[in-house]
Amino acid sequence: MASVPRLLSGALGGIEAVPVSVEADVSRSGDPQMVVVGLPDASVKESRDRVAAAMAHAGFEPFRGRVTVNLAPADLRKEGSHFDLPIALAILLAADGFDASLRPASPRRAGAPAREPLDPERTAIAGELSLDGTVRPVRGVLPLAASLRAAGATAIVVPRDNAAEAAVVEGLAVYPVENLREAYEVLSGEGGPMPFRGGRAAAATDTAEDGPDFAEVKGQEMAKRAIQIAVAGGHNILMIGPPGTGKSMLARRIPSILPPMTPAEALEATKIHSVAGLLPPGAGLLRERAFRSPHHTVSNVGLIGGGAHPSPGEVTLAHHGVLFLDELPEFSRSALEVMRQPMEDGFVTISRAAGSARFPSRFMLVAAMNPCPCGYYGDPNHECRCTRTQLQHYRAKISGPLLDRIDLHIEVPATPLKDLQSLPAGDSSADLRAGVLAARGVQAVRFGTAARTNASMQRRDLERFCRMDARCLEVMNFAIREMKFSPRAHDRILKVARTIADLAGHDALEPGDIQEALGFRALDRAAWT
């Protein structure tokens, strides 16, 4: 009895993948048709027609019998066009249907010697087939490569545009192919492309001199200080001020002071963008932290993620980066409320009938808003035309629990025109970034990893790293009595104070650190009552 060839591929779930064995059986008896079993979705079932056309155009002899393709394990739902290439190769190996008379005159690249065939059961394969036999890039190659390498794969055959992405995974020989014939030659040892030599891309980059600079923002020194604290400790921040005061301008300069990603952070961020299909062709590891700025009309699914087959939303695409929500009250209240869980836990779990997926979502939230619908409440230069009812309705869109999860609330007042013309340039992005990197270095020593920040401290961490002496306790207790802070707000004030102390080089918290942190929470009590 002829053996049934088994090729290795994978099914995506969240930002990870599960190994899938692709088996093919051919028979001269029975109806001449191709059947795909193993819980395939519509995109996998459609591969039958793409595979048949691609094989014909690639010069392979059409097989006239019955073909059965099994995707194991059978109880795991399979979706995605990346199964096209492993299905086609499994059929070719099973049928041995290559017609030598149709072989091109020079099937092998000049100077490329024949080599030993790859072990099908240790070779990962992914790629979408066009009708003419070319191999198209697919999403999710990085998580597929990483998971299949952990499952024992030693080589991977992928579309050429996905080669740099797959090469991020160490220990895998990456074979980039442009068409079905090249993939068959690589697998059978007849020739084909040589392994990709791109290597693992560097994760870190210095962005301080690229793009907009904080030196271009005149005035707003208090806002710059708050932003530096927020970035240094990974804290959430809300900017409130009239239109045109520079809130968006400040937010869009935050990437210039973000610290470089660690290799682990870069790998995880790249996986997310790979699954979402947002990696540009030929890209390897992402070098810069994400800065996502969705429009206020974004849906709940667009913000949090979801769909029939769960895909990442904006909170996940901003993982290890910044999520900027401009005009915060214009977002639907339901969309803002569903953000509370990922802001607290650092991940999103999406459950559907077809299964569940968990997406990481540890981001820094930067939000901006006007103080009222017309934008001029409290502005000495303009009259506010909003009624009390309009003001209450506007602010009610942002719930207390959501505000509690935002560590710093700052006012961004209007700067008089004469001051804009006479004020010197303030701190540059390079100056602010130097302080951020120094504070992040302190936190890396404190937590034993560069991936953690003060914002991620738990209760046990606060008790260990944020101890207050009698003077600090007096300041904190007075503020809690007068301003009626919640226990969550109390903890977040301590986290911000710890970051302020790190920026100042203090080993222990000092009363000034507590007072400054309290100042960044006092605004919401004054402005929201």
Angstrom distances, CA of residue 100 to CA of 60, 94, 97, 186, 188:
9, 16, 9, 17, 14
The DSSP line for 254-282 is GGGGPPPPPHHHHHHHHHHHHHTT-SPTT
Q: Are 184 and 94 in contact, with CB atoms under 8 Å apart?
A: no
Q: Are 304 and 241 in contact, with CB atoms under 8 Å apart?
A: no
> What is the arithmetic mean of pLDDT over 471-491?
88
> What is the arithmetic mean of pLDDT over 317-342?
93
Q: Are residues 362 and 506 in the same domain?
A: no
Residue 355 above 80 pLDDT? Answer: no
Residue 209 above 60 pLDDT? Answer: no
Q: Are residues 175 and 234 in the same domain?
A: no
Residue 207 above 90 pLDDT? Answer: no
Q: Are 377 and 384 in contact, with CB atoms under 8 Å apart?
A: yes
> What is the arithmetic mean of pLDDT over 323-327?
96
Angstrom distances, CA of residue 167 to CA of 189, 246, 269:
21, 42, 16
Cis amide prior to 73 (ω within 30 degrees): yes
Residue 32 above 80 pLDDT? Answer: no
- Does residue 196 sit within a domain? no
Q: Is 99 helix (H, G, I), strand (E, B) or coil?
A: coil
Residue 422 CA, chain-centre distance (Å), reads: 42
- Does residue 200 sit within a domain? no
- Does residue 231 sit within a domain? yes
Q: Are 240 and 412 in contact, with CB atoms under 8 Å apart?
A: yes
pLDDT-wise least confident of 56-70, 76-90, 274-288? 56-70
Query: For the chain, what percentages of helix, strand and coil (3-state, to nearest 5) are there?
Result: 40, 15, 40
- Residue length, the chain? 529
Token digits for 268?
A: 């995880």
What is residue 113's predicted lDDT score, i.e. its pLDDT?
A: 57
How many Cβ atoms from other residues are within 10 Å of residue 251's Cβ? 22
Q: Are 229 and 503 in contact, with CB atoms under 8 Å apart?
A: yes
Q: Are residues 110 and 158 in the same domain?
A: yes
- Does residue 207 sit within a domain? no
pLDDT-wise least confident of 309-313, 463-467, 511-515? 309-313
Q: Give the residue from 173, 188, 203 where a domain finishes.
A: 188
Q: Sorting pLDDT into bands at 50, 70 and 90, what band is 357?
A: confident
* b/e map 134-158, b = 16+ CB within 10 Å: bbbbbbbbbbbbbbbbeeebebbbb
Q: Are residues 299 and 358 in the same domain?
A: yes
Residue 98 above 70 pLDDT? Answer: no
Q: Are 324 and 315 in contact, with CB atoms under 8 Å apart?
A: no
Summarize pLDDT for 438-475 with one digit per residue, the tens: 999 999 999 998 889 999 999 999 999 999 999 999 99
- Does residue 129 sit within a domain? yes
- Does residue 362 sit within a domain? yes
Q: Sorting pLDDT into bands at 50, 70 and 90, what band is 199?
A: low
Q: Sorting pLDDT into bands at 50, 70 and 90, what band is 102?
A: very low
Q: Are residues 39 and 78 in the same domain?
A: yes
What is residue 2's predicted lDDT score, i.e. its pLDDT?
A: 53
> What is the arithmetic mean of pLDDT over 326-336?
92
The DSSP line for 199-259 is -PPP-----TTSS--GGGS-S-HHHHHHHHHHHHHT--EEEE--TTSSHHHHHTTGGGGPP
Summarize pLDDT for 370-395 with one digit per residue, the tens: 999 998 888 888 889 999 899 888 88
| Nearest in space to 404 (alpha carbons), one of 525, 486, 526 | 486
Q: Are residues 376 and 500 in the same domain?
A: no
> What is the arithmetic mean of pLDDT over 68-92?
92
Domain extent at residue 505: 457-529
- Does residue 134 sit within a domain? yes
**CATH number of 35's domain:** 3.30.230.10
Q: Are residues 392 and 322 in the same domain?
A: yes
Q: Are residues 366 and 493 in the same domain?
A: no
Q: Which long-range contacts (CB under 8 A, 24 or more apart) does 71-74 make?
A: 71/20, 71/21, 71/22, 71/23, 71/36, 71/37, 71/38, 71/39, 71/40, 71/44, 72/20, 72/21, 72/23, 72/38, 73/20, 73/21, 73/38, 74/37, 74/38, 74/39
What is residue 4's predicted lDDT score, i.e. its pLDDT?
A: 79
Q: Give the residue from 414, 429, 444 where a domain finishes.
A: 429
What is residue 204's predicted lDDT score, i.e. its pLDDT?
A: 42
- Does residue 204 sit within a domain? no
Please state, in angstroms and rounded to a whole number, the distance separating the CA atoms of residues 146 and 126.
13
Q: Are residues 399 and 462 in the same domain?
A: no
Residue 103 above 50 pLDDT? Answer: no
Percent of the chain past pLDDT 70, that is, above it, reads 89
Highest mean pLDDT among 189-193, 224-228, 394-398: 224-228
Q: Sorting pLDDT into bands at 50, 70 and 90, what band is 89?
A: very high
Q: Are 35 and 25 in contact, with CB atoms under 8 Å apart?
A: no
Please state, in angstroms and rounded to a whole number, the distance separating the CA atoms of residues 230 and 455.
9
Q: Are residues 115 and 25 in the same domain?
A: yes
Between 275 and 209, where is the model more confident? Answer: 275
pLDDT-wise least confident of 5-14, 152-161, 208-217, 318-327? 208-217
Q: In what helix (H) or strand (E) does residue 343 lie, and over which residues does it extend? A: helix 340-345
What is residue 422's predicted lDDT score, i.e. its pLDDT?
A: 66
How many Cβ atoms from other residues are within 10 Å of residue 165's Cβ? 31
The residues near 280 (Cβ < 8 Å, ≥ 6 apart) are none
Between 82 and 188, where is the model more confident? Answer: 82
pLDDT-wise least confident of 236-250, 406-420, 503-517? 406-420
Q: In what helix (H) or strand (E) does residue 22 lie, and over which residues does it extend? A: strand 16-27
What is residue 203's predicted lDDT score, i.e. its pLDDT?
A: 43
Residue 405 phi, psi dihedral angles, 5° rounding: -85, 0
**CATH number of 290's domain:** 3.40.50.300
Q: Are 294 and 326 in contact, with CB atoms under 8 Å apart?
A: no
Residue 34 above 90 pLDDT? Answer: no
Q: Are residues 59 and 169 in the same domain?
A: yes
| Nearest in space to 499 (alpha carbons), one of 462, 449, 451, 469 | 462
> What is the arithmetic mean of pLDDT over 488-502?
94
| Nearest in space to 493 (alpha carbons), one of 512, 517, 470 | 517
What is residue 400's predicted lDDT score, i.e. its pLDDT?
A: 86
The residues near 156 (Cβ < 8 Å, ≥ 6 apart) are 123, 124, 125, 126, 145, 148, 149, 166, 172, 173, 174, 175
> What is the arithmetic mean of pLDDT over 201-220?
66
Highest mean pLDDT among 154-163, 191-200, 331-340: 154-163
Q: How many CA atoms lie within 13 A of 298 on its CB side?
A: 25
DSSP-derived secondary structure letter, 61 = P
Please state, in angstroms and rounded to a whole number, the distance separating the CA atoms of residues 276 and 318.
12
Torsional sign, CA 286, 291, 297, 303: positive
Q: Are residues 237 and 364 in the same domain?
A: yes
The arrangement of strands across the sheet holding 408-411 comes to 291-292, 322-325, 364-369, 237-240, 408-411
Residue 425 above 90 pLDDT? Answer: no
How many independent structural domains does the chain possess? 3
Residue type, 282: G
Mean per-residue pLDDT of the chain: 87
